[in-house]
Amino acid sequence: MEKINFDSLLFLLKEAKEKNKKILITFHSVGDSDSVSSAIALKRFFGDNAKVSTPDYITTNATRMLKVANINENEISKGFDTDCDIVVLVDVNAFEDCGSFNYYLNDFKGDIVIIDHHALHNIEKDKVYVYNDENSNSTASIIYEIFEQLEFDVDVKIKYLLVYGIISDSADLKNAFPKTFIQIGKLLEDTGSNYQALLNMIEPLPDPKSRLNVLIDSCAAEKYIIGNILFIYGRAHSHANVSADVALKAGADLALFFSIGAEGISFSARLRETLDKKYDLHMGKIMKMLAPIIRGSGGGHPCAAGAYGPVTSTENEFKEAFMEELKKHIS
């Protein structure tokens, strides 16, 4: 693995485009708005020689983002293209967080370019070039800077994706940098939108019944204080990620909610920003580790992750294993 600076990243991207290299762009398991927006935007840069593929799923918010920007979901395929010349990983810097693509990435003989904004993760493999900028709140912010430097203009659809990705990964702007506000302002101006309107698109207000159900979920959830962590666990009426997000906004440090549907069980974990570093907690790794309990897959970010599987009868076993893992780190 070789860590590269911004100029070297620009050179690699320009060279790949000029030489018509066949590019596969992908991201972490359960792709979120930041990773999906960054991948689609880069696909526009590379043109017809690039394709975007997901290791498994993309989140509900990412799906909504594509709809708002009038981007066809078919632009994201499934399956690893072993015939590509270069793989570009966005919003992730560990192969193990890429779900089913982990094996292919380790076995891939071509160049792998990583563009990310999280803490650097060491990869013991040659021909891996990592650009990591922890002074960016999102990967979409980095993609914006790339396009600015390369003077590559994109249409309004892609600008919507980029501002959506930047805002969605900002934790209500709590982890924003000065340049974050500048980028958001410029993109809002270019799209003719405004901040509140975009927030309404990112997180539209649910109908009263849905909001009532989320409140019921929070009230009925189990509450624990582990060390100095307020942990909330419960079942969601519909979307586990929504109930987990609301629990954090209401004061929880960590929330784990699950929902059960026709295809099985879905878990969503949310951790308050900075606690991942303080306690060396990585929700994505924990979800991936525990996913076999429900015979499924899992992954995600340090502070936001999920797991999905067909076996609903092991819900309590999953919860207990999660709490045991939490106690290891807190203690």
Question: Is the domain of 35 the same as that of 59?
Answer: yes
The confidence score (pLDDT) of residue 259 equals 94
Question: Is the domain of 172 the same as that of 249?
Answer: no
The confidence score (pLDDT) of residue 85 equals 96
* Helix%, strand%, coil% for the chain, nearest 5: 45, 20, 30
DSSP characters over 162-184: HHHHHHHTSTTTTT--HHHHHHH
For residues 120-145, give the mean pLDDT.
91
The predicted-structure confidence for 187-203, as pLDDT tens digits, reads as follows: 999 988 888 877 777 67
Question: Is the domain of 290 the same as that of 141?
Answer: no
Q: Which residue has the higher pLDDT, 129 or 124?
A: 129
Domain boundary among 183, 201, 219: 201
For residues 121-141, give the mean pLDDT.
91
**Burial readout 164-190 (b: 16 or more C-beta within 10 A, e: otherwise):** bbbbbbbeeeebbeeebeebbeebbeb
Token couple for 219: 């009230």
Reported as a pLDDT band with limits 50, 70 and 90, residue 30 is confident
The confidence score (pLDDT) of residue 301 equals 74
Tally of domains within the chain = 2
Question: Is the domain of 133 the same as that of 253?
Answer: no
Question: Is the domain of 166 the same as that of 307?
Answer: no
For residues 300-311, give the mean pLDDT.
85
* Residue 277 near residue 258, CB atoms below 8 Å: no
Reported as a pLDDT band with limits 50, 70 and 90, residue 139 is very high
Residue 121 has pLDDT above 80, yes or no: no
Residue 120 has pLDDT above 90, yes or no: no
Question: Is the domain of 158 the same as that of 17?
Answer: yes
Domain boundary among 201, 220, 239: 201
* Maximum average pLDDT range among 90-94, 181-185, 327-331: 181-185
Question: Is the domain of 306 the same as that of 180?
Answer: no
The confidence score (pLDDT) of residue 21 equals 96
Residue 241 has pLDDT above 90, yes or no: no
The confidence score (pLDDT) of residue 285 equals 87
Domain of residue 140: give its range: 2-201
Domain boundary among 201, 232, 261: 201
CB atoms within 10 A of CB 111: 16
The confidence score (pLDDT) of residue 328 equals 92
Question: Is the domain of 178 the same as that of 229?
Answer: no
Q: Which residue has the higher pLDDT, 245 or 13?
A: 13
> Which CATH number characterizes residue 326's domain?
3.10.310.40
Residue whose pair of structure tokens reads 């359960």 in the numeric block: 30
> Which CATH number characterizes residue 153's domain?
3.90.1640.10
Name the pTM for this structure: 0.76
Question: Is the domain of 259 the same as that of 222?
Answer: yes
The predicted-structure confidence for 41-96, as pLDDT tens digits, reads as follows: 999 999 999 999 999 889 888 998 898 888 988 899 999 999 999 999 999 988 98
Reported as a pLDDT band with limits 50, 70 and 90, residue 158 is very high
Residue whose pair of structure tokens reads 């997901």 in the numeric block: 54
Reported as a pLDDT band with limits 50, 70 and 90, residue 255 is very high
Question: Is the domain of 312 the same as that of 176?
Answer: no
Mean of pLDDT over the chain? 90
Residue 300 has pLDDT above 80, yes or no: no
For residues 298-324, give the mean pLDDT.
89
For residues 173-187, give the mean pLDDT.
89
Question: Is the domain of 17 the same as that of 78?
Answer: yes
Nearest to 54 by CA among 25, 23, 84: 25
Question: Is the domain of 214 the same as that of 171?
Answer: no
For residues 141-147, give the mean pLDDT.
97
Token couple for 252: 């929880």
